[in-house]
Amino acid sequence: MNFKYLRLFIFLAPFVSLSLLCASHPAQASSISTVQVTGKDLQAFLGHEISQMNLQVYRGGKWQALPYQIDEKAFDPIARGRRWVLDQAFSRRTDLPAGNGKLEEDEVLLFLLKDMGEKGSPESSTDRPVLEIKSGGGYAYLFLNPKNPLVSQESYVRYNPNEDEIDALGYKNRFNTHQAIVQEELVPKNQKSGSPANILDRFKVRMMLAIKNFIDVNIDESNLTSKKVGYRVGPIRIIRRMAVYKSLGPIRITPKAESDFLFYPYFVRVPSRLDNPIDGRKSLESNSKGFAGFDFTHFFYGARFFSEKNPRPVLIDGAMSAEEKGLNLKDVTWWTATSEKGTLIVKVQWDPNLVKEGVTCNLYYVDDRTSLKPPEMDPGEAAVGFQLDFTQIPAGQYSVYVNQIFPPGPFQMGTEGTYINQIQPPAVSVTPVS
């Protein structure tokens, strides 16, 4: 048997979590954008100690602190390249990449666009700023080793490693403490009434891979081995690294793949690489298919569902209506589910090379309280996600990004495109202060 065929499992990680303008302008208060300035754009600070860098804003005639963080990178032998440095390790792995404490070109400064201030008066500061950062009409200023640094104590994201729980401005997510891939709680904080409530029974991954002249393998989130590797916590984002592999009995039959979950104040972003060594069009049987998605609880009944291919909302209520049965499932890259309990927007960014090959990411939708796909804490299937036909995926390396978005405040239909666009960092300009 040639076990390299099963390397295609490593693409599973990105589906797990499937598992901001100037603050002084009131019309822009609902922005969720995170400004990301790379070290390459901060030439004056390259090679300097990160601990000596201090970000401030000018607002109302005063210099003020704002929450920000600077994330380092270092070479990782497992990734065979540079990746984010973590603060804490969960596993016995001792070779986690460690930073050198100095700013390098591929490292990043992060802060919220909504926290930016007015154009400042550098001469009014006893510690003159070195760089002016402009984005979306707002300004921030970067200082080097100031005598009187301003430091914000506010944090927009928090992590409880013992419970594997992320508590952010827009949501709360919790994962199974024994199976890091299994998301068991999703609490939107944008409910229209009442208190925030969990709307998720379980995030499910169900797949069949039938490899010609080899073996058939059934996969669900319960029979994958998944472990937390480590994490980094800052006031703007949390990096949670997870390792996952598949075993048959005591034998590990896939390489261990690691993926970083990125938790921002109002959205979760999971970047991952699909490293597929086989041509599914030639090597897989026709029944090689699967889905990954959210199985909601009955507390989410009454939610309205729509997507870019299905603009007319349908009702999630535990029974498939004619309208639901008629949904367009082909090539759906985003969808929204919204109710009094809260709103979730899910966006998949599909690799352009897969698009060129005609491989689409299709909608999975079942609304049936009598359907069971155990384990079920809340019986019935109110599941929305994405399904794939693995027989259409050619060999190659592909990038996939899965995003959960939680708009702040009560959601208004028609604004989903704005929030989807805001998961991408906004444009910035960096100017030396003369």
State the pLDDT at residue 13.
42
Reported as a single tens digit per residue, the pLDDT across 68-88 is 999 999 998 877 889 999 999
Distance of CA 178 to the CA centre of its chain: 21
Q: Which residues touch 303 (CB under 8 Å, ≥6 apart)?
A: 296, 315, 316, 337, 338, 339, 341
Low-confidence stretches of the chain (pLDDT beneath 70): 1-30, 92-94, 246-256, 272-276
- Outline where DSSP puts E strands in 178-299: 183-188, 200-211, 215-220, 224-233, 238-248, 251-252, 257-263, 267-276, 289-296
State the pLDDT at residue 362.
92
Tokens of 262: 């990125």
Q: How far apart are CA 353 and CA 364, in angstroms?
A: 22
Q: Which residues touch 376 (CB under 8 Å, ≥6 apart)?
A: 201, 202, 295
Residue where the block lists tokens 């009434």:
193
> For residues 67 and 57, is the Cβ–Cβ distance under 8 A?
no
Nearest alpha carbon to residue 393 among 18, 1, 7, 19: 7
Nearest alpha carbon to residue 393 among 223, 209, 219: 209
Residue 32 region, left (φ>0) first, then alpha (ψ -120 to 50), else beta?
A: alpha
Residue where the block lists tokens 């490693």:
161
State the pLDDT at residue 271.
75
Long-range contacts of 82-88 (CB under 8 A, 24+ apart): 82/106, 83/260, 84/232, 84/239, 84/260, 85/232, 86/229, 86/230, 86/231, 86/232, 86/239, 86/241, 87/230, 87/231, 87/232, 87/233, 88/161, 88/230, 88/231, 88/232
> For residues 174 and 163, is the Cβ–Cβ distance under 8 A?
yes
- Which run of H or of E encompasses 416? helix 416-421
Nearest alpha carbon to residue 382 among 296, 322, 301, 323: 296
State the pLDDT at residue 21.
28
Pairing outcome for strands 342-349 and 396-405: antiparallel
Question: How many angstroms separate the Cα of 97 from the Cα of each of 14, 70, 74, 93?
Answer: 22, 16, 5, 11
Q: Which domains does the chain have, with CATH numbers?
A: 3-19+156-421 (2.70.98), 26-154 (no CATH)
State the pLDDT at residue 284.
84
Tokens of 361: 């990411």
Reported as a single tens digit per residue, the pLDDT across 147-160 is 999 999 999 999 99
Residue where the block lists tokens 């690489």:
273
> For residues 96 and 230, is the Cβ–Cβ distance under 8 A?
yes
State the pLDDT at residue 248.
58
Nearest alpha carbon to residue 83 among 94, 70, 72: 72
> For residues 23 and 140, is the Cβ–Cβ distance under 8 A?
no
- Which one-letter DSSP state was computed for residue 85? P
Other CB atoms within 10 Å distance of the CB of residue 111: 26
Report the predicted TM-score, pTM, of the whole model to 2 decimal places: 0.89
State the pLDDT at residue 233.
97
